[in-house]
Amino acid sequence: MQRICLFPGTFDPITLGHVDIIDRSLPLFDKVIVGIGLNSSKTPMFSAEQRLQWVQEIYKDEPKVEGTIYEGLTIEYCKMIGAQFIIRGIRYVSDFEYEKTIADANRTLDKSIETIFLTGEPKYTSVASTIVRDIIRNGGDASLFLPKEVYSTLNK
């Protein structure tokens, strides 16, 4: 049986912090699906299609990574795609508290799907999509926080 993992998020935009978590999850799973969740309570800066294109471009040479767009409960999407694991990145203790609450709810909904937390590299601790969007909106240099595939698109 393949070990399939879903890495859910908005990835608006995908940052070096996200890439760090994806890259470090590769040895753990046979397939890592980067799931761009559509969240009605968030208004993204970039279209879901653009975010998916970035994931596909960054991982074009890595057959274990697949990008997708989904709607609804993450746990239900995991069942639909056969993912037995959800991977989440943790930067701070406050991230853990929030993520644990979601993991507990998911475990209540389906005990067969396990959430795994990876702590981010210290150099990416301050990298958050919210901050990166503010830098972009205000004309700052976001290149230190973004994969080259994302940054080059923003400069067009």
Q: Active-site residues: which are they? A: 18, 42, 91, 129
Q: Nearest 10 degrees: CA dihedral of 121, 8, 30, 116?
A: 60
Q: Could you tell me how many helices (H) and strands (E) the chain has, helices first?
A: 6, 5
Angstrom distance (rounded) from CA 98 to CA 41: 17
Quick one: CA dihedral 137, 21, 34, 150, positive or negative?
A: positive
Q: Which residues contact 27 (CB under 8 A, 6 or more apart)?
A: none
Quick one: CA dihedral 56, 70, 98, 133, positive or negative?
A: positive
